[in-house]
Structure 1
Amino acid sequence: MIVAELTDHERATLKRAAFGVVYLVSNADPGFLSMLRESVAASGAFTGARGLARDVLTSGSLPRFPRKDPGGVEAEVLPALTASLGILRAKAPDEVDNYRDAVLAAAQRAAEASHGVNASEAAVLAKVRAALA
């Protein structure tokens, strides 16, 4: 296994993409209590990740997203997911599945956290799966 050191920018891309997914799921089911439940559920997936994915997703500060522009966040997050896989394939190929699994688990757990998965959340999950394919 060859693992090259990730730059700060690459680490930020991986983290922003992963947390952006949770943001998109949370926006699909608005409400403070829903957001809180979803955030806690997603954080469990991130802390349960292995290897480099766990290191990237559980260290440093949390990314911030604009509350008034979820469409803009989606336009940033989905390509960032694809870019994240490219970064890992180039620098840490054995970590691709760990990262993908952590992001998908966080998205699914967030969607299920508040009264099950609604149609809007299912649509976000489908976009996330497509970006990670």
Structure 2
Amino acid sequence: MAITLSDQDKNTMRVAAYGAVALLSAAGVAGGSPHKIATNGSIALGSGTGLVGHVLAEYPKGKEINGKSVAEIADRVLPALTEAMALLTAQAPDEADNFRGAVLLAIESATQNAKPSPVVTDLIGKITKALDAA
């Protein structure tokens, strides 16, 4: 079965996945390692396979994952995570699992070098909840 995603669907997936990493990076500023978080998480996303890997091979265009605060980033990213899971679940359930796994791997990779702060741990919980809300 061929899966056809619109450009908007692909953008939603990119904003969701890279936005999750950006969210952790923004929260990681307090711990002093936002660049490591962003780099490690982005490398993990860029290493994906299947349809998800092809979509995430491109970084999102525009400023949709930037923000002046963690709250501003979260307002866009958390709903995008749920939306991406819903659209993939409807069109390609295996790819929904692949997407969820890619985001969780990126989170794990992003936080591998240090014990996450309570703030980062809380955001990881919110990201996981958004993935599972679809």
Structure having greater relative contact order (Cα 8 Å, sep ≥ 6): 1
**Structure 2 counterpart SS, 1:112:** coil
Q: Could you tell me whether the CA contact under 8 Å between 2:21 and 2:42 is conserved in 1?
A: no
- Structure 2 residue 93 is matched with structure 1 residue 93: yes
Instruction: Report the equivalent of 2:69.
Output: 69
Alignment of 1:4-15 (within 5 A): 4-15=3-14
Runs of 4+ with deviation above 3 angstroms: 60-63
Distance 1:55 1:102, change over 3 A: same
- In structure 1, runs of 5+ residues without a counterpart are none
Q: What number of residue pairs does the alignment pair up?
A: 131
- Quote the offset at 1:112 in angstroms: 2.7
Distance 1:22 1:96, change over 3 A: same
Q: Could you tell me whether the CA contact under 8 Å between 2:14 and 2:59 is conserved in 1?
A: no
Instruction: Report the equivalent of 1:57.
Output: 56
Q: Could you tell me whether the CA contact under 8 Å between 1:42 and 1:109 is conserved in 2?
A: yes
Equivalent position amino acid for 1:7 in 2: S
Alignment RMSD: 2.0
Equivalent position amino acid for 1:27 in 2: A
- In structure 2, runs of 5+ residues without a counterpart are none
TM-score scaled by length of structure 2: 0.86
Q: Could you tell me whether the CA contact under 8 Å between 1:19 and 1:63 is conserved in 2?
A: no
Instruction: Report the equivalent of 2:83.
Output: 83
TM-score scaled by length of structure 1: 0.87
Distance 1:60 1:47, change over 3 A: closer
- Quote the offset at 1:46 in angstroms: 1.1
Alignment of 1:1-133 (within 5 A): 2-30=1-29, 34-59=33-58, 61-64=60-63, 65-113=65-113, 115-133=114-132
